[in-house]
Amino acid sequence: MFCDCFYWNQENSELEWDSSESKPFSLPSPLPRWPQGTGFATGKINLGEIQVVKVTEFDRVWKCSKSRGGKTRCASFYKPVGIPEGFHCLGHYCQANNQPLRGFVLAARANHPDKDDHRPALKKPVNYTLVWSSDSDCYFWLPNPPVGYKAVGVIVTDEAEEPDTEEVRCVREDLTETCETRERILGVGSFNVWSTEPCSRGIWSRGVAVGSFFCSTNHNKADMNISCLKNLDPTLQGMPNLDQVHALIQHYGPTVYFHPEETYLPSSVPWFFKNGALLYRFGKPGGEPINSTGSNLPSGGQNDGSYWIDLPQEDEEATNNLKKGNIESSELYVHVKPALGGIFTDVVMWIFCPFNGPATLKIGLLTVPMNRIGEHVGDWEHFTFRISNFNGELTQMFFSQHSGGGWVDVSDLEFVKGSNKPVVYSSKHGHASFPHPGMYLQGSSKLGIGVRNDVGKSEFVVDSSQRQRYRVVAAEYLGEGVVLEPCWLQYMREWGPTIVYDSAAEIDKIINLLPLIVRFSIENLFPIALYGEEGPTGPKEKDNWEGDEIC
């Protein structure tokens, strides 16, 4: 069945100086009332000695429009307003003008303001340093913190007079973490503005992004003089409990479309095992049947090449049946983990396909399907949706695309009509994830040469929000025994054999189609293994299992 879907799409425009504001974005449907818990979706998050709230209401201070040459990036700078009584501003916010107003900054208060008068958690700055000004209508100020404290944000004014020290708070050094620049938002001559994020990110990292920005007149970004916050609450009370996790998945679980010409569909892992997949061991002939739960797979350790899973090569009918997959049995395997110090929750959904089909190349106007290049047994792909722990709102999605991928803001997602459930498109044969239908080229867009990723709607669809279609397999922060991990998740070896392609004829065909000037760069043009590849590993062997997503 086809779902009735739409996506938000705000066209970029040449923004000039005017009084208009970026329009705030809101999800298509209201948020539900989440099940009762401890600190999730309560509006405040405890970080140990300080408590923070998320501020999303702003007054615009300054807007930089495009220069006549069109080289200056458009951006606006905002002062947070409506900060709750007792909380203090930590910095101002900025974003590009060609997107809905979606950002936030944190405001903070000390949990025990009278505990230590000599070393309070928050202190006013001593004064400010003027970083840069623009034609006497905008001034960027860096708070100068007292000894033992750190600035965690920058403020912007429309007056040359130095701001009052009451405007912002600095944070005691032991309550902060180092941060780094992420995306350049504005560049005006030697002046540049970047968004920031904690240097260390992942399950065990505790750096908390404040939502402010870093600016400098020095192109060397290493001169970072602001910090992030640090979550010192060992219980991570802002994270959802298991009931709340299920509610989040049932509210936001994406609908996954496979290509209408897809030959190699997903299946559940137990179906793959029960229908003939075999475990092989180095130095031993033949393969061993695998229990449906994977209980006889080697557990733990590392991928040392001793074991691998393969199709039953002696049984052609069973092999072809396994390659096709079984979408009726397929399910999403969910890993829930803290992100950015526990102020966000990442819900990672892994999908398994027994077989990855051959690639299709694009060389100029030509489409060149491969016979074997790109094939391998056992294909694990994933996508991630990121939830704000302040209110349970969806903020971003990560779409995994082979060895990379990218984050997409919620305002640019496609949703199933009448819901807050995003749509995910899985590419033909390769199963990479994309936010919208069409053709995505991995390679050189300038030359029009690379690997095609074709995606579109079809009757091959999996609704991950349905309880029978997903399984929570890991949530380490909930503690031991709350989520029982399946046996097969502990299998750290390869889910397919190492393959050597007998592809000389195919490669010669590719080379003959390429322009002479790029024929000697063939391996750099196509982001796939042309001569063979090792078998893929399972979810726990991926860097993003404990770390952040890799773009």
The CA-atom distances, in angstroms, between 530 and each of 229, 314, 376, 483, 504 are 45, 26, 12, 40, 9
Compute how many other C-beta atoms are within 10 angstroms of the C-beta atom of residue 221. Answer: 13
Across the chain, how many H-helices and E-strands are there?
5, 40
In three-state secondary structure terms, 117 is coil
Provide the pLDDT for residue 551. Answer: 66
Contact 252, 347 (CB under 8 A): yes
- What is the value of pTM for the model shown? 0.91
Provide the pLDDT for residue 3. Answer: 46
Q: In sequence order, which residues have a C-beta less than 8 Å from that of residue 479 and are 6 or more positions away?
A: none
Provide the pLDDT for residue 378. Answer: 95
In three-state secondary structure terms, 114 is coil
* In the chain, where the domains are located: 44-230, 242-541
Q: Which helix (H) or strand (E) holds 323?
A: helix 316-324
Q: What is the pLDDT along the chain (551 residues), one digit of tens a residue?
A: 444 443 333 333 333 334 445 677 899 999 999 999 999 999 999 999 999 999 999 999 999 875 544 555 689 999 999 999 999 999 999 999 888 888 999 999 999 866 657 899 999 999 999 999 987 789 999 999 999 999 999 999 999 999 999 999 999 999 999 999 999 999 888 899 999 999 999 999 999 999 999 999 976 655 789 999 999 999 999 999 999 999 999 999 999 999 999 999 999 999 999 999 999 999 998 999 999 999 999 998 889 889 999 999 889 999 999 999 999 999 999 999 999 999 999 999 999 999 999 988 888 888 888 888 888 999 999 999 999 999 999 999 999 998 789 999 999 999 999 999 999 999 999 999 999 999 999 888 888 888 899 999 999 999 999 999 999 999 999 999 999 999 999 999 999 998 877 666 667 777 777 776 666 665 566 656 666 678 899 999 999 999 999 86
Q: What share of the chain is helix, strand, coil (3-state, %, to 5)?
A: 15, 35, 50
In three-state secondary structure terms, 329 is coil
Provide the pLDDT for residue 278. Answer: 97
Q: Residue 502: what residue type?
A: D
Provide the pLDDT for residue 402. Answer: 80
